[in-house]
Amino acid sequence: MADGYARLTSKPQCVIVHVDVGTQGLGAAVHNASCGRAPVLIFAGLSPYTCGGEYRGSRTEYIHWIQDVPDQKQIVSQYCRYSGEIKCGKNVKQMVGRALQFAMSAPAGPAYLVGAREVMEEDIEPYELEQAHWGPIGNAALPEDAIQEISEALVGAQEPLLITGYSGRNHDAVIQLVKLADTVRGLRVLDTAGSDMCFPADHRSSLGLRYGIHDRITTADVIIVADCDVPWIPTQCKPKSGTRIFHLDSDPLKQQIPVFYIPAEARYKVDTSTAFNQLHTYISTNPALSRTLSTYHDRWDALGKEHADRISTIRSLAHPGPDSTFNVSYLTSRIRHHLPTDTIFAIEAVTLTAFVADQLLPSLPGTWLNCGGGGLGWSGGAALGIKLAAGPKRFVCQIVGDGTFLFSVPGS
């Protein structure tokens, strides 16, 4: 629930669990929060560190010895942006503030704090912190030379392509990317839907949602990879030799993925909403680039026809069979037809995700939330958290597949 609420609102949520076993019980949820960039603060107790009553909070139960492990933080630290121990009551607020700074700074994700009972029972004098001093890191922008180079590459390309995955967490990034696509006529956008809807499916530049495989990846001569963990799978599909690739990302080195590489000639640690804004502003105000773009009417018309043909193909799949059987395309199309336009979808369809996306055609920022990780069972609690955040007037629909409904332990 905390994960879903945090994803929709970008406001950090808190989860409290019981020592090492409670931490282990989080299991795949921490993996999903990390891959899905969900700002969640996890707090867990530690077994008391005194045995004979030396401090208030000393051990009083058999289990206090059994649950005393060498380093409890190691259970989840590799998935967390920060892990730390509260060692005294006098700086507890500073420790929480620091953990939240990490959780909220891009790339957002879980932070983990632990504290023993002696610390939790310590007497301290009341104190306050200036909360304005404990905010996340501010957004980073492209340097001026990069703006010019990428802009000129996009405008001069025969087949420019932008691949994204989680830029849509910031709803303004969707707006700025639409402006960029409207400016660079001929730019196609492939949404890998790592965790959010990043580009409206009803826009003529949209190639829809696919996971690392699309013919346009192999033919593009300029590719922008923007906030994306897996733009393509090289053994299945990869850019042709000579393609110019630029990587714009809040985490371009993928510091929590030991093996990652794309042949980008330049990579920038940036806020993609800011970067998209810089690019379309520069291009639209540059006389030479604007003159070039004014000759691209045929490209714009071709995108429109290509998109219309793709939508027609998608709709042709949404029909029951002659024996009254039906496939996931037909089922999803009926769900889309009967639900409000602004329905928020919590998607965990796994191997059927692309078929679901094709029929839902998500076009409003914040209306498609995907797990982003590999821990099945995310959507049950996430859908409840999303609904709690969205309020009573917004409809939330959970779509599951590959057993994920059971993985979410509905009986709990």
Q: What is the pTM of this model?
A: 0.95
For the segment 299-307, the average pLDDT, to the nearest whole number, is: 97
Alpha carbons 57 and 49: distance in angstroms, whole number: 9
Closest CA to 179 of 268, 271, 269, 284: 284
Give pLDDT tens digits for 132-178. Answer: 999 999 999 999 999 999 999 999 999 999 999 999 999 999 999 99
Which pLDDT does position 204 carry in this prediction? 98
Alpha helices in 206-346 (DSSP H): 215-219, 272-285, 287-293, 297-316, 328-338
Number of continuous H segments (helices) and E segments (strands) in the chain: 16, 13
How far apart are the two ends of the chain, measured CA to CA in Å?
A: 13
The number of CA neighbours under 13 Å toward the Cβ of 359 is 25
Lowest mean pLDDT among 69-78, 193-202, 294-303, 361-370: 193-202
Question: Phi and psi for 17 in degrees, rounded to 5?
Answer: -130, 170
Give pLDDT tens digits for 350-378. Answer: 999 999 999 999 999 999 999 999 999 99
Give pLDDT tens digits for 237-251. Answer: 999 999 999 999 999
Which pLDDT does position 145 carry in this prediction? 97
pLDDT band at residue 193 under the 50/70/90 scheme: confident
Sign of CA dihedral 179, 183, 185, 190: negative
Contact 385, 334 (CB under 8 A): no
Reply yes or no on whether the pLDDT at 273 is more than 90: yes
Reply yes or no on whether the pLDDT at 3 is more than 80: yes
DSSP state of 234: T
For the segment 7-36, the average pLDDT, to the nearest whole number, is: 96
Contact 195, 169 (CB under 8 A): yes
Which pLDDT does position 310 carry in this prediction? 97
Closest CA to 256 of 31, 27, 11: 31
Q: What letter represents residue 188's amino acid?
A: R
Which pLDDT does position 32 carry in this prediction? 96
User: CB neighbours (10 Å) of residue 252?
Assistant: 18
For the segment 169-196, the average pLDDT, to the nearest whole number, is: 95
Which pLDDT does position 291 carry in this prediction? 95
pLDDT band at residue 194 under the 50/70/90 scheme: confident
Lateral strand order in the sheet of 206-209: 206-209, 188-191, 160-164, 222-226, 244-249, 266-269
The number of CA neighbours under 13 Å toward the Cβ of 302 is 10
Percentage of the chain beyond pLDDT 90 is 96
Can the peptide bond before residue 107 be classed as cis, meaning omega within 30 degrees of 0? yes
Q: Residues in the chain, how many?
A: 412
Which pLDDT does position 64 carry in this prediction? 97
Alpha carbons 203 and 179: distance in angstroms, whole number: 11
Sign of CA dihedral 298, 212, 260, 270: positive
